[in-house]
Amino acid sequence: MAAFDHFGDMYDVALKPRLLNTLITDHLPTVDHPFSNPSELSKVVSLIKTHSLLSEDVTDSFESKQIKAWKSSVTSWVDRVLLLLSSHSPDKRWAGISLLGVTCEECNSDRFQESYTVWFQKLLTSLQSPEDSHLVRVAACASISDLLARLSGFPKFKKDGSASAVKVVQPVLKMLHDDNSEVVWEAAIHVICTLITSFPFSIQRHYDSVESAIAVKLVSGGCSHDMMKKLAHCLALLPKSKGDEESWSVMLQKILILINDQLNLKFEGLEEEYIRKEFNGLLILPGKQPPPPLGGYASTKEASDNTTKRSKQSRTSSVSTLMSSCCMLLTNAYQVKVNVPVRLLLVLVERILMVNGALPEMSLPFMTARQQENICSELPVLHTCSLELLTAIIKATGSQLLPHAASIVRLITKYFKTCELPEIRIKVYSVAKILLISMGVGMALCLSKEVVDNAIADLSTLEKKNVSMPNGSNTDVSPAALQPASNRKRKHSSTNGSLQENEAGGVLGVQVPKKCRVAPISLRIAALEALEALITVAGSLKSEQWRSKVDSLLIAIAMDSFREGSPSEEINVFQKKDPAATATDLQLAALRALLASFLSASRPPYLSQGLELFRRGKQQTGTKLAEFCAHAMLTLEVLIHPRALPLVDYVPPNNDTFRETQFSYRDEYVSRNKNSQFGFPQAEPPASRENLLTDYLANGDDEMGRLWTENTKETKESSEVATPLPSSADNQERSEMVPETATCADVEMRSVDNETTFKSDHPGESVPCQTSIPTVIDIHSGAATDIEPERIVSDSTLPHNEANNSDLASVSKSPVQTSDTNLVQQFAFKKFGDSVDDEYEPFPEIVDGDPDSDSGSE
Amino acid sequence: MVVVLASSSDAGGGIGSWDLHTGTEQIRYKSLSSPGHGLVSVGDRFLASSQLRDAATSSGSVFFWSWSKPQVEVKSFPAEPITPLAANHSGTYLVGGGLSGEIYLWEVETGKLLKKWHGHNTAVTCLVFSEDDSLLISGFKNGSVRVWSLLMIFDDVRRREASQIYEYSFSDHTLCVNDVVIGSGGCNAIIVSASDDRTCKVWSLSNGMLQRNIVFPSKIKAIALDPAEHVFYTGSEDGKIFIVALNTTKIATNNHVSYIVDSFSNHSKAVTCLAYSASDNFLISGSEDGIVRVWNASTHNIIRVFKHAKGPITNIIVVRPENDSSNHMSSNLQAASKKKGAQFPPLEKYANSIDGHSDTKTIVSLGDSDRCMDASYLSSHVISSYSKELQNQGSAAASEMEIEKLKSDYQKSVQMVNQWKKMYENLHQFCVKELVDENKK
């Protein structure tokens, strides 16, 4: 066409047919020419996907010419692909089949509906042709599975699709039986999985043969690990094709029976008889017929013949595969509710976990060291699998785990004590973490000790290192340095804390030599995560025994993680099998746990250090750490500036209560601190404010009130200020008082007006008059509580009790009625005697200051 | 759709339901009279209520309704009259408190009575699950409040060892506990209890201490907690609803009343129950005069009034029925929902502990079967993974293909050779013929 027929931009529709045509002419193999460059195909596919060249996604706004062009080029693409598919050369056929699969995935749904029958036939014939090479078969399987997957998206073709899908089953099963290439098996398994999920009816008729085909492969154990995983997955999916409760249970039971058979062989003489009996008793309930063995009798016999021939290694892998199949059965979604034999599964888990390779006395003569060696080499894999099964059980049952939770806790507790391999410990930690998060507070009460003890043991290597390093001294000093500060506020609890601190140090000191080797990073991460979960769930629930230990440990680890380049860790990174867990991950885990510890503590002791760490972490631009630290800063900001906003904007009915509530909200921060166990986490105030706060707390709430009223005073008019706030009164009291004070205010207003006119002449004298009432109150409360002079400023203090109240009432009336301010002052000073003298000096200047500014604004 | 459900102690008054937004009355579920705290939505799947029958019968009764039908779906008759009912958040367990102080725990799915334990010597008045469903808080007629860890309840070994099986027992109330609520916040949550002794008490879950004691002018019958736990509302016997600040400190010493921020009232009679609808910040109160009032929680104006019964309202709950759409949509779905309701067997009367295997199986639903599975396409993966192999001819499969290709090439070549041979022979013959012919000439 035209060489200069330009189009708009990369989003222009005109580009698509052009590009597609270019792909067809330049990059697709033709029937006649040899297929020189197969790797170009992946480029073609990626271009098609990024530009969605086959989608024919047109809207009405496009010109019909463009639409037509696109349509014709897609048609020519399909033609070319079909041509390739029927070519004689295997590589071109492979290309054709694969590209047809891509076309099924990518093409417009109208086109798909029109032509899927033709495509299906073509693919089916290439699937059935026996002499093709493996690659072609794999491609055929993949493409047919893609076609069926796409087809399942059209509800109206459900029936038609099922009819077609049935035709696929036989050839695929044949491939599983006859072929000996794992690549082909894998593709065949994929087709079966697609059939199960998309067209379950097609599988139903062949249910047993599919089951046996998979079972034979599974049990004979001649496949790679990946292949086994896929087989297990397919086996777990299989009951879905029937979709009833029965077939799920039967499948699980069959698998468990198979596992049982193999374990019986393996654990001969290694396990206690009772647990085997218990398992068997639960496996086949008395009076019930066991289901036929997995995959039918013949195949298992053949398989077991195979297994006896094969090395023991393969048998383990088949047990572990079968167990992972159980896990998938438990965790995959299922159409209907199922009956999970939780008890049976738990006994299985326990049965495996309790075998540690030690020979009981009586079976010593029956087993050679070689046999024992074999078992012991396999045990870690089995233990890992059974812990995975445990996780699956917890996930599957969710809230219904409750009746079994106690036995799980006992199992975990028992196993934690003996388990030493890092990989398995990681799994145990993760189980503990899941339990804590899912079962909440109740679980934390049971599990906290175990998690804390083990985590401290695993993490304590770091502690030790810290002590020896000069850099770490900082960390060690910090708890001691912080302790006195908090001592003043919560004498009782913090002395406890410091005691525990020492104890904790002692405990750590004892534990360090026992576990002298450094725990691998991944294990430490798992321990930190478990601690984080524990703190999250029950950071302050009956946690006195471990809380301070854990807090100091966490800050130590977090600070340690910021020390640059600790060489042992660097080496560790290279030594480790799992390259994923690095020092950075450890750092992240440590900070996460630290954040949790800050948030859950009523008074986080290391907040300032922690904030510093988060600030530093945030500077590491572009890392996960920085992301998390930013989040942590945001979270902690609320801790530093606590705000308890009401969900509802609370509109008070009258002014007085409004002030009171406002006061309350403001005051909440302090009150929380005072109550300290109450609700929200509390911030650690900066050290300079410490004393101040402690004083407030010691003196009760009146000072707070004064502080607050001082702050809000500016907003009020002076006359209002003069009225005493009846905020301490209860409802009745208030209703009595409000009118009274109101009249007082009225009267006073007048008097103030008089005064102001007067004031211009005699400013010095008039000022005390205005503030006479507050003055009295101030003195009164100042006398009651001994505080710094500048705190007394507030005019409207809250009276202590009713006795004082009545006092005040009488006092406040007198100046208003008499307007004799001097008298009032004298009266007041006389009344409150000696303590007033102390306050006398600072007092007048403060009073001078405020009303002056007020009257200035008037 | 947010639905308000209210039950009353009227015999035959039924359980009324109203759409909170439109105010229209929905289904009225047929029931006998429901006691206080005896109405519960089980995991939003169905409705359960304990029922008071004539005093002559010794057994209690608990009825289930599916959302779409007014008729009782399932009737069960526990061993003794049950007053309070509670369900955990996922609706798998139902807990009931008996008049004798026994607490019963049933598995909803099977109806099995999983556990029964002695709560106290007096009647259980209210039951509530903690946020994470691991704790159960119960209030008793004699004023005590007990916190149970369900894990402990199920742990027979530890139960035998422990001196007491409850986590906390608060006995500061002197008279019947009328309502207990628990706030959010995991282990830092607060428990608020209301009692006939004219007080509400706030307890800390983390250390089991009494945090606050609020004295009211009259008996407090109901509590509703503001979701942000800024305040809580109490319904008192004199018809007032008090607003009590949670976040404040005590304002004056020896004067507990100061926690009460405000009160409002439009009830001539006692407020018997309160509920808070978090989605629109409505406070819903039920009164002894049988009327349900919906208040705007910020302005304290009445938004709606539902007249329910002659007798006192005993329960108000705000629910979001799970399959409310099925009422209006296809009959297919409705049938499914009917099936769902009928699925639950009645609650068992006695724990079936003769065979030790009563708890070996647990019925669970694995995942959401409606979840659409993402179709996974494989072809493009096949292309990308094998095209390289083909290019480099590295793997066995690729070389196999190469062999096939060579085979066909070979065949082609053989054909070609044969052709050429033939041509050559033809040519040869032709030439020989020519020569011979020439010689002949």
Give the distance between the most distant pair of CA atoms in chain A. Answer: 121
- Helix or strand (DSSP H, E) at B303: strand B302-307
Whether residue A742 is contained in a domain is answered as: yes
CB atoms under 10 Å from CB of A577, counted, come to 10
Contact B247 A664 (CB under 8 A): yes
Find out whether B361 and A342 touch, Cβ atoms under 8 Å. Answer: yes
Round to whole Å and give the CA distance between B120 and A677: 28
Largest Cα–Cα distance in chain B? 150
Distance CA B27, CA A337 (A): 29
Looking at the structure, do residues A399 and A472 belong to the same domain, yes or no?
A: no
pLDDT at A413: 92
- Quick check: B382 and A101 CB within 8 A? yes
Q: Does residue A404 sit in the same domain as residue A514?
A: no
Query: Residue A316: what pLDDT?
Result: 59
**Shared-domain flag, residues A501 and A554:** yes
**Taking CB atoms and an 8 Å limit, are A410 and B359 in contact across chains?**
no
Give the DSSP per-residue string, A702-725.
HHHHHHHHHHHHTTS-HHHHHSPP
A792-842 pLDDT per residue, tens: 333 443 444 444 444 444 444 444 443 444 444 444 444 444 443 444 443
Q: Is a pLDDT exceeding 60 seen at residue A697?
A: no
Rounded CA separation B232/B254 (Å):
21
Shortest alpha-carbon distance between residue B245 and chain A (Å): 8
Distance of alpha carbon A635 from alpha carbon A619, whole angstroms: 17
For chain A, say whether B204 makes contact (Cβ under 8 Å): yes
Is there a single domain that holds both residue A382 and residue A446?
no
| pLDDT digit string, tens, across residues B61-79 | 888 888 888 888 888 888 8
Interface test with A, best of B116, B243, B366 (most A CBs within 10 A): B366
Same-domain check for residues A361 and A241: yes
* Partner B, chain A 369-408, Cβ-Cβ below 8 Å: 396-406
Residue B106, amino acid:
W
Q: Assess whether pLDDT exceeds 60 at residue A514.
A: no
ipTM of the complex: 0.83
What angle is formed at CA A258 by the lines to CA A255 and CA A264, rounded to 5 degrees?
140
Domain boundary among A358, A386, A418: A418
State the smallest CA–CA distance between residue B403 and chain A in angstroms. 10
User: Which A positions 185-204 lie with beta carbon below 8 A of chain B?
Assistant: 187, 190, 194, 197-198
CA A39, CA A47: separation in Å to the nearest integer? 13
Radius of gyration of chain A (CA): 40
φ, ψ for residue A682, nearest 5 deg: -115, 150
Instruction: For residue B255, give the nearest of A537, A652, A730 by CB distance.
Output: A730
Query: Which of B4, B7, B15, B45 lies closest to B276 in space, CA to CA?
Result: B4
CA dihedral A558, A563, A568, A571 (to 10 degrees): 100
Please give the residue of chain B at the shortest CA–CA distance from A48.
B380
Classify residue A140: in a domain, yes or no. no
**DSSP H/E element including B313:** strand B313-319
* Average pLDDT of span A159-184: 87
pLDDT digits (tens, 9 = 90+) for B199-235: 999 998 888 888 888 888 889 999 999 888 888 899 9
How many angstroms separate the CA of residue B249 from the nearest CA in chain A? 5
A441 CB within 8 Å of a chain B CB: yes
3-state class (DSSP) for residue B218: coil
Task: Mark whether A442 and A580 lie in a shared domain.
Answer: yes
Average pLDDT estimate for B165-185:
90
Instruction: Note the pLDDT tens digit of each residue in A421-454.
Output: 999 999 999 999 999 999 888 888 888 989 999 9
Measure the CA–CA gap between A2 and A14, rounded to whole angstroms: 13
The answer to whether residue A180 sits within a structural domain is: no
Phi, psi of B116 (to 5 degrees): -140, 125
Chain A interface, best mutation among B368, B387, B415, by max A CB count within 10 A: B387
pLDDT band at A270 (very low <50, low <70, confident <90, very high): confident
Q: Please list the residues that pair with A338 across neighbouring strands.
A: B364
Put simply, whether A693 touches B (Cβ < 8 Å) is no
pLDDT at A728 over 90: no
Q: How confident is the model over B311-334, as a mean pLDDT? A: 63
The per-residue pLDDT for B420 is 93
H helices within B358-395, ranges in order?
379-392
- CB contact, 8 Å: A146 with chain B? yes
User: Does A667 contact B373 at a Cβ distance shorter than 8 Å?
Assistant: no
Among all residues of chain A, which has the CA nearest to that of B153?
A403
Cβ–Cβ contact A99 with B under 8 A: yes
- Using a CB-CB cut-off of 8 Å, the residues of chain A touching B390 are 38-39, 91, 94, 135
Domain boundaries, position A828: 655-857
Whether A138 and B382 lie within 8 Å, measured CB to CB: yes
Contact A105 B377 (CB under 8 A): yes
Give A336→chain B minimum CA distance, Å. Answer: 6
- B438/A contact by beta carbon, under 8 A: no
Which token pair is A148?
């069926």
Q: Could you say which residues from 147 to 186 on chain B have a Cβ atom under 8 Å away from some Cβ of chain A?
A: 149-152, 154-158, 167, 183, 185-186
A387 and A433 co-located in one domain: no
Question: Is residue A637 a part of any domain in this protein?
Answer: no
- Which pLDDT value is given to residue A297? 52
Look up tokens 């066909």; give the residue. B408
Exposure class string for B37-73: b at 16+ Cβ within 10 A, else e: bbbbbbbbbbbbbbbbeeeeeeebbbbbbbbbbeebb
Residues A103-114: pLDDT tens digits?
A: 999 888 899 998
Last residue of one domain, picked from the residues A597, A631, A665: A631
- Which residue in the set B151, B262, B378 is minimally distant from A442, CB to CB? B151
Q: Are residues A324 and A455 both part of a single domain?
A: no
Residue A512: per-residue pLDDT: 38
Q: Which amino acid is at B249?
A: T
Interhelix angle for A521-538 vs A567-575, to 10°? Answer: 110
Average pLDDT of the segment spanning B240-264: 69
Instruction: Specify the number of domains making up chain A.
Output: 3
CA-CA distance, B164 to A402, in Å (whole number)? 19
Interchain contact, B258 vs A405, CB within 8 Å: no
d(CA A218, CA A221): 5
Copy the structure tokens of residue B160: 């035998």
Report the 3 state secondary structure along A305-319.
Answer: HHHHHCCHHHHHHHH
Residues A704 and A771 in one domain: yes
- Asked whether residue A842 is domain-assigned, the answer is yes
Minimum distance, in Å, between the CA of residue A213 and any CA atom of chain B: 22
What pLDDT is recorded for position B374? 54
Residues 6+ apart with CB under 8 A from B218: B198, B236, B237, B238, B240
Question: Would you call B336 an interface residue with chain A, using a CB distance cutoff of 8 Å?
Answer: no
Contact (CB<8Å) A399/B88: yes
Residue at which a domain ends, from A631, A664, A685: A631
Residue numbers in B near A799 (CB within 8 A): 252
The answer to whether the beta carbons of residues A41 and B390 sit under 8 Å apart is no
Q: Please tell me if residue A247 touches chain B, with a CB cutoff of 8 Å.
A: no
| Count of Cβ atoms closer than 10 Å to residue A145 Cβ | 29
Minimum Cα–Cα distance from A398: chain B residue: B364
Whether A334 sits inside 8 A of B157 (CB atoms) is no
Q: Do B397 and A403 touch (CB under 8 A)?
A: no
Asked if the structure places residue A88 within a domain, the reply is no
Residues A652-677: tens digit of each pLDDT: 444 444 344 444 444 444 444 444 34
In angstroms, rounded to a whole number, what is the distance separating the alpha carbons of residues A300 and A74?
A: 51
Percent of chain A with pLDDT over 70: 63
- How many CA atoms lie within 13 Å of A593's alpha carbon, on the beta-carbon side? 33
Across the interface, do B255 and A536 touch by the CB < 8 Å criterion? Answer: no
Do A706 and A849 fall into the same domain?
A: yes
Q: Which of residues 271-310 of B touch A (CB under 8 A)?
A: 278, 281, 297-300
Q: Quick check: helix, strand or coil at residue A539?
A: coil
pLDDT in tens, B338-367: 444 446 778 877 766 544 444 567 777 776
List the single best residue of A399, A412, A413, A436 to mutate versus B (max B Cβ within 10 A): A399
- Cross-sheet strand order for the sheet of B3-8: B15-19, B3-8, B313-319
Determine, yes or no, domain membership for A89.
no
Please state, in angstroms and rounded to a whole number, the distance separating the CA atoms of residues B120 and B143.
11
B365–A657 C-beta distance less than 8 A: no
* Residue at A9 is within a domain: no
Q: Are B61 and B50 in contact (CB under 8 A)?
A: yes
Q: Are residues A537 and A467 in the same domain?
A: yes
Residues A827 and A704 in one domain: yes
List of chain A residues whose C-beta atoms are within 8 Å of the C-beta of residue B115: 403
Q: Check CB contact under 8 Å for B226 and A646.
A: yes
* pLDDT for position B144: 92
- Both tokens of B147, joined, read 């916190």
